[in-house]
Amino acid sequence: MEKIPILRMGDFLLVTIQIDMHDQLALKLQDDLSNAIQQHASKGVLIDISTLEMVDSFIGRMVADISGMGRILGAQTILVGMQPAVAITLVELGLSLPGVATALNVERGMEILRRKIAADGTDERPG
């Protein structure tokens, strides 16, 4: 069966979406990711979409679902490498992807995640 590889990079997980997603594959990825987040106690997930020539509401929903699921499991999601033409189109389509941060590339994404995690650490309240 088709499968999207999940790469572990220290505290983070990296998923590169290269192929055309369909329902089944999106569900499988969410499943695999939630397992991986729990297994490695990952603090962040980077979704690399630099090879995608289009993001529609289907992929948008997948990203939003992954991000929501990650949040529940204590990991932040960051979308990296979105092509400019895709970003422009996404705005007009009306997808705001609330709660999903974006970064230029994987390195920047990791920086942002590290900073967010450090900030959250000092923010933590008891109870």
Partner 1 sequence: MNAPVNGESPLKSEHDIVLARQLVRKLTQELGFSLVDQTKMVTAASELARNAFTYGRGGSMHWEKTNGGDRRGLKLVFVDEGPGIPNLELAMTDGWTSGHGLGMGLTGAKRLVNEFAIDTKVGVGTRVTIVRWK
How far is 110 from 44, CA to CA, in rounded Å? Answer: 9
Residue 7 interacts, among partner 1, ligand ATP, none and using kind-specific CB cut-offs from 5 to 8 Å, with none
For residues 115 and 94, what is the distance between their CA atoms, to the nearest angstrom? 29
- Minimum CB separation of residue 57 from partner 1 in Å reads 5
Angle at which helices 57-72 and 23-40 cross, to 10°? 20
Q: How many residues does the chain have?
A: 127
Binding residues for partner 1 (CB under 8 A): 20, 22-23, 53-58, 60-61, 64, 84-86, 88-89, 92-95
Q: Which one of ligand ATP, partner 1, none interacts with residue 115, CB within 5 to 8 A by kind?
A: none
The rounded distance, in Å, linking the Cα atoms of 81 and 104 is 5
Integer Cα distance of 76 and 51 in angstroms:
22
In angstroms, what is the minimal distance from the CB of 58 to ligand ATP?
6
Closest CB to partner 1 among residues 21, 73 = 21
| Nearest position to ligand ATP, beta carbon | 57
Binding site for ligand ATP (CB under 6 A): 57-58, 61
Instruction: Quote the least distance from Cβ 86 to ligand ATP, whole Å.
Output: 16
For residues 44 and 11, the answer to whether their CB atoms sit within 8 Å is yes
